[in-house]
A and B are shown apart, each in its own frame.
Chain A
Amino acid sequence: AIQMTQSPSSLSASVGDSVIITCRASQAIRNDLGWYQEKPGKAPKLLIYAASTFQSGVPSRFSGSGFGTDFTLSISSLQPEDFATYYCLQNYSFPQTFGQGTKVEIK
């Protein structure tokens, strides 16, 4: 199975800050990567798929990039509602695999 490694596992930031979360695949996966946001007690929400394509309704402060093995999720000007846990998911091959998550906390 393809291993997805996210970093950092957690970070503290302030409202208005910009943050970058990275996801590294154990083998090349083209651009077959998505990013999810999860908040306590709620189902995960798809933010980005195909590495850089916005899901409908996602604010433009979120952006994704990458190809092959290295991917990033960037959040510019963090808003209070952005404090959550973020996951990457590869769909290049079965079994699909999530990263272990990055928790974005308020500083």
Chain B
Amino acid sequence: EVQLVESGGGLVQPGRSLRLSCAASGFTFDEYAMHWVRRGPGKSLEWVSSISWNSGRTGYADSVKGRFTISRDNAKNSLFLQMNSLRVEDTALYYCAKDLGFSSSFPDHWGQGTLVTVSS
């Protein structure tokens, strides 16, 4: 069974940094692309970033480009999201999600999310 467990969320002040982690199990991690998707309070889903199976291809939402960095450690079945220069509007529940395939297409399994609150 695919399991994705996010961690690293919390309360942080604007301008500070936070690193999210996602521990994956139940599938061959290094064969699949991975995504981060978020849902802000009262907002719809927002795709944040994705990374291909071998880290060769990454993509970012315009709202986070230049501030967030996605990475993965295939040896440790782990996905990361380094979030710098955080803004109030980054407040959201952040989901880690597995892709259907090796390159970025559609998330098909999701974790339960980790909450990030950016506030002074």
Binding site for B on A (CB under 8 A): 1, 32, 34, 36, 38, 43-44, 46, 49, 55, 87, 89, 91, 94-101
Find chain A residues with CB under 8 A from B59 CB: 94-96
Nearest residue, chain B, Cβ from A33: B106
Is the CB–CB distance between B113 and A91 below 8 Å?
A: no
Chain B interfacial residues counted at CB < 8 A? 22
* B73 surroundings in chain A (CB, below 8 A): none
**Please, which residue of chain A has its CB at the minimum distance from the CB of B105?**
A91
- 3 closest A-B pairs by beta carbon, nearest first, are A94-B59, A43-B110, A34-B106
The answer to whether A44 touches B45, judged by C-beta atoms less than 8 angstroms apart, is: yes
A-B contact pairs, 21 of them (CB 8 A): A1-B61, A1-B62, A36-B45, A43-B110, A43-B111, A43-B113, A44-B95, A44-B110, A49-B100, A55-B108, A87-B44, A89-B45, A91-B105, A94-B60, A95-B47, A95-B61, A95-B62, A96-B47, A96-B50, A98-B44, A99-B44
CA distance in complex: A83, B44 (Å): 17
Task: Give chain B's interface residues, CB within 8 Å of chain A.
Answer: 37, 44-47, 50, 59-62, 65, 95, 100, 104-108, 110-113
With both chains docked as a complex, state the minimum distance between the C-beta of A31 and any C-beta of chain B, in angstroms.
Answer: 12
